[in-house]
Structure 1
Amino acid sequence: RFKEKNEEARVHFIPYLKEGVFVTLCAPVVIKLKGARCYLKGNVFLENEFLSTERLAELISSLICKEEQEKETRDFLEKLNGVFALVAETKDIIFCVVDKTRSTPLFYVKTKNSFIVSDSAYYLKDKINPHLNEENAAEFMVAGYVTGNETLFDDIKQVRNAEFLIYQKNDGLLKSCCYFKFLHGNYYELPENALLEILDRTLVNAFSRLVKSTSQQGKTLVVPLSGGLDSRIIVAMLKRLGANDVICVSYGRKGCRESEISKNVAEALEYEWIFVESTAKKWRENYNSKEADLFRIWAANLTSLPHMQDFPTVKELKLQGKIPENSVFVPGHTGYGTYIPDSASFDLEAYLEASLKKHYNLWPYGQEPEKVFKQRVSKLISGLEIKDNETFANALEYFDSNERQAKFILNSVRVYEFFGYEWRIPLCDSELIEFFLRVPIEYRINCNLYKKYARNCLFSGELEMLQKIDCTTDFLNLKALKKRSIYEKVLHYRTFAHSYYDQKVNNPVWGRYFENPLISRLLIKVSRYDNENIDDYPLLKSILEYRNEEKYPLTVNGMSSLEYLSGIKGETYASRSKKVIKPAGSPVKRPL
């Protein structure tokens, strides 16, 4: 914690959190200027030039020290590209901002006489001892994250993506401003070939920024290379731009199709390939380890489901020294497709039904929770018009970008930080985001433009061999499945049968909970699933009872969300020792 003259206005960042050799967290860069102090995590580009932390601090400080700074600050922040969280403090104000994707979260508490901002929601929880918000907890249970600026506890808030806060110390006023919105419009009126050319230039720019801030600084790029399209585009772009210090990593059941495809892609590009085998036993040992408990607290931050999928792999890479200490992970997170469900009408009610089906699906639930969730989604898209398929799709993507992508998908990068590595997300580059916001809907449906670019443009010439390697993303045939011939459907199902088996049937990740995953999952389909730690929360209990009555199958993430909630009340961040502890007498997580 950094104390200032005003004891009631405080800025707190976790300097480090260390447990054995497993946990090393990146501290913020602290820049002291005349009249201001800035705390920064991340890296930032302005007009395609990398900004040093000192230069960014100077620019921000000059803006926030002005009397009427809101519009100028908004315009400046909209121009920034990169992943970052920044807090600046002067004698009069505290200024907080996160990037357009909320890749590095910030949390805050405002009471009558104080304001505290931190990158640890647990730190704030210790400070004010708030109440668990049951509606927020129910949303977390079925969606995997808490929407809006809420967290699981009353009075602890989060800075939303593309948002900045200004807290006035003298009068205690807090103002929130949005500097960018994920809204489609100002569409390109160009033929497909022209759009593909713009997309190509945009991707080259995005990956040039990546290479400039990593490879050209002597860092090794580590790409989690799956059998899908996004990570294949990443390694193809790196090869195209001449990046040589690249390691491709794959994990899963030995002999699984994803890893076989990954190996073929890496070998075709002449990149080093590392495979980390996953077994149910490994998963059980890792999931129940002390460092996994620490990671869940660090990664979830009372807001998002901890992303455990990469945890055993990154841990093994770290402990066995398989990748350099200066490695930078480059996952293939993106969201450029439009999903339009079959619907007889395009109105608010149809939108709410589609949103709940897509996002609120970790647990089944009855009418009462459904009503609560619909009210929350309605509030988040307030002001958006829904009248046809285009506005319907825009509203779906707006929610997806602000909530699922920002809170759930991108939160997976916490695992890299936890083990002391940097990360970049080039497919979420601001220039790419702004490009796709201008792409007409007919090119966004089923990611058609994105897939055509890979098939016809990127995977050509020296990279043409990438077209011929199997892919778990169907990018060669862009027809909707229901419009394909019988022969085309047979090819599709034959291609994806192995992936279904690996993901749904024989997935070692279920070893988190069961010694014999397949048998246990079959038995639990016809039995009750109880957790006594939620008995005091009627809404949560009703969701669990609904599942038990209807005997719906369980999901990995659903079990994880309930487990996290069942143990959350006893978890504490001790600021003095810089360790995560459980106080005596706290509820113990019940083994699942």
Structure 2
Amino acid sequence: MKTITTPIIPIKQLFANVKTPHTLNYEAICVFTAIGFFLDQDAYWKDKIALKPGTTYTLDGNGEVTTSKENFRWHYEPRNISFKTAVTEFTELFETIIKEQSGTNTVLLPLSGGLDSRTQAVALKHLGAAVHSYCYSFENGFKEHEIGRKIAEVCGFRYDPFIIPPNYLWDVIEEVSSINDCYSDFTHPRQIAVLDDFKRMQGEFSLGHWGDVFFDRGFAAADEKYSDLEIIYKKVVKKGGMAVASKLWKAWDLDGDFESYLKQRIQDLLDKIDIPHRESKIRAFKSLYWAPRWTSVSLTFFENAHPIHLPYYDDRMCRFVCGIPEAYLADRKIQIAYIKNRNPNVAKIEWQDQMPYNLYNYKDRQLLKTFSYKVKNKMQREINAVLGKKYIQRNWELQFLGEENDGHLRGYLYQPDFLNFVGKDVVDDLYQKFKTEDAVFYSHSMSMLLTLSVWYRKLKTL
């Protein structure tokens, strides 16, 4: 017998066996292609399940589940405390977690233009940790690495900027598919492009994933008019996701229609979350199903190089968030206050989501300043376009566009065995729409078909 207790938000996917025939879980694979991750306990096979977060399992000698007991349930029980007290408590907890996780190691810190890693940078600076920081930017894209550089300079951190080049995927796709076992696509995680650089570094990663979910609104104010199901559905279904999933559903002759199936799955999971407060309920849903099955899968690429730590994933942080009033969590208030209190100079650096403003003036927008920034950006893009430099906003543009990329993509999509598995009509239709109708919309379809193609080829070689 073996006992496994999963964290509230697991860093790793853990699987077990169940007594059922060893057959492909076609319904689960369709959901995977629609939303980019496997939902709840789904896996490629019906006799394999992912262990739920916050649960203790007993497994027998065959790795099959014999008992399970939930040991944490998401809730919303806001304490009657002031905002100042909430910030003080966050400061003490966050810095305690950071200190425990970093120990005496050099911290490898990915910086961005947002607030999660910036909050970490401030804590690490305050604690006097040794930090090797870095940042990514797309080639011919937004220069996020310049914001990262400013944060590193203010904090006195060693800093490396990484420019994500085109066409890198095809040289590493077999390696990365072995790392993540094809449980997420290969075109979104930028860290794939710099795996060798990671391995040359010395230290342990401190990653800021899930801070934006804990310390912001459960959903946008504009979505208040929608039901919980509609909010989740709109959030998780990718552009082009329904197109590929519905086609696979029909090609595999599954019962009913895919959209109804997916909505019922989501509604069933929402019904199990006993939280009347809507924003907290949506946050709990994301933490139960999105974080461990999508966000955590991409963490495997970091872990392939060095140990990883996630302060926002810590069980204590999960419990802390459940007791903080939503008004304090919304709009990044706690993180902003923390950064301004601990390191005003870091707070003065531009915030990417609110460019060209920082944490002190983002609410005090000036028409001329905003207009000037937009004009300057537009002019730079137009100049680059004349020079033949396409502005890159999304990672798939570096991997799918252009003749060389297209040749690699077709090589995977049009493998005979894979065409027999998903149906040539499915691949033909989605590929042609990507090429001739709307590349942005159908890029996700291409990404998921590529993922399935790599997975299926590995399956056939076993």
TM-score, normalising length: structure 1:
0.63
**Pair 1:166-2:58 in alignment:** yes
Which of 39, 42, 59 does residue 147 from structure 1 map onto?
39
The code of the aligned residue for 2:448 comes to S
Given that 2:87 and 2:338 are in contact with CA atoms closer than 8 Å, whether structure 1 keeps it comes out as yes
2:387 paired residue number: none
1:65 paired residue number: none
The code of the aligned residue for 2:330 comes to I
Displacement, 1:472?
A: 0.9
The code of the aligned residue for 2:193 comes to P
Change over 3 Å in CA distance of 1:195–1:494 after alignment to 2: farther
Displacement, 1:411?
A: 2.1
Given that 1:363 and 1:543 are in contact with CA atoms closer than 8 Å, whether structure 2 keeps it comes out as no
Given that 1:143 and 1:360 are in contact with CA atoms closer than 8 Å, whether structure 2 keeps it comes out as yes
**Pair 1:566-2:453 in alignment:** yes
Give the whole-Å Cα distance in 2 for the aligned partners of 1:496 and 1:425: 37
Change over 3 Å in CA distance of 1:557–1:224 after alignment to 2: farther
Change over 3 Å in CA distance of 1:395–1:224 after alignment to 2: same
After the TM superposition, which residues 21-40 of structure 1 pair with which residues of structure 2 at under 5 Å, given as runs? none
Which of 108, 132, 154 does residue 16 from structure 2 map onto?
108
After the TM superposition, which residues 82-481 of structure 1 pair with which residues of structure 2 at under 5 Å, given as runs? 93-111=1-19, 130-167=22-59, 174-185=66-77, 187-212=78-103, 216=104, 219-243=105-129, 245-253=130-138, 256-280=142-166, 284=167, 286-289=168-171, 291-299=172-180, 301=181, 303-306=183-186, 308-318=189-199, 321=200, 323-324=201-202, 327-334=203-210, 335-336=213-214, 337=216, 338-343=218-223, 345=225, 350-365=227-242, 368-384=257-273, 391-419=277-305, 421-455=306-340, 457-458=341-342, 463-474=343-354, 475-476=359-360
Larger Rg: 1
Given that 2:152 and 2:158 are in contact with CA atoms closer than 8 Å, whether structure 1 keeps it comes out as yes
By percentage of residues, which structure has more strand? 1
Give the whole-Å Cα distance in 2 for the aligned partners of 1:265 and 1:411: 28
The DSSP-based 3-state class of the residue aligned with 1:342 is: helix
The code of the aligned residue for 2:4 comes to C
Change over 3 Å in CA distance of 1:491–1:201 after alignment to 2: farther
Identity of aligned residues (%): 17
Displacement, 1:189?
A: 0.4
1:40 paired residue number: none
Change over 3 Å in CA distance of 1:355–1:478 after alignment to 2: farther
The DSSP-based 3-state class of the residue aligned with 1:157 is: strand
- Once superposed, what is the RMSD of the aligned Cα atoms? 3.7
Give the whole-Å Cα distance in 2 for the aligned partners of 1:153 and 1:496: 52
The code of the aligned residue for 1:440 comes to P
Given that 2:430 and 2:442 are in contact with CA atoms closer than 8 Å, whether structure 1 keeps it comes out as no
Give the whole-Å Cα distance in 1 for the aligned partners of 2:110 and 2:289: 24
Give the whole-Å Cα distance in 2 for the aligned partners of 1:543 and 1:439: 51
The DSSP-based 3-state class of the residue aligned with 1:447 is: helix
Unaligned ranges ≥5, structure 1: 1-92, 113-127, 521-528, 573-581, 585-592
How far does the alpha carbon of each residue in 1:165-194 deviate from its partner, in whole angstroms, 9 at most, with x for none?
113569x87112221123222x11011111
TM-score, normalising length: structure 2:
0.79
The DSSP-based 3-state class of the residue aligned with 1:206 is: helix
The code of the aligned residue for 1:316 comes to D
Mean alpha-carbon deviation: is it higher for 362-371 or for 146-155? 362-371
How far does the alpha carbon of each residue in 1:335-378 deviate from its partner, in whole angstroms, 9 at most, with x for none?
212214535646xxx21111111111142427833212111111
Given that 1:143 and 1:359 are in contact with CA atoms closer than 8 Å, whether structure 2 keeps it comes out as yes
Give the whole-Å Cα distance in 1 for the aligned partners of 2:238 and 2:2: 38
Unaligned ranges ≥5, structure 2: 247-256, 385-389, 407-412
Displacement, 1:238?
A: 0.6
Given that 2:240 and 2:443 are in contact with CA atoms closer than 8 Å, whether structure 1 keeps it comes out as no
Give the whole-Å Cα distance in 1 for the aligned partners of 2:314 and 2:362: 25
Change over 3 Å in CA distance of 1:531–1:447 after alignment to 2: farther
Give the whole-Å Cα distance in 2 for the aligned partners of 1:565 and 1:249: 32
Given that 1:252 and 1:276 are in contact with CA atoms closer than 8 Å, whether structure 2 keeps it comes out as yes
The code of the aligned residue for 1:583 comes to T
Given that 1:141 and 1:363 are in contact with CA atoms closer than 8 Å, whether structure 2 keeps it comes out as no
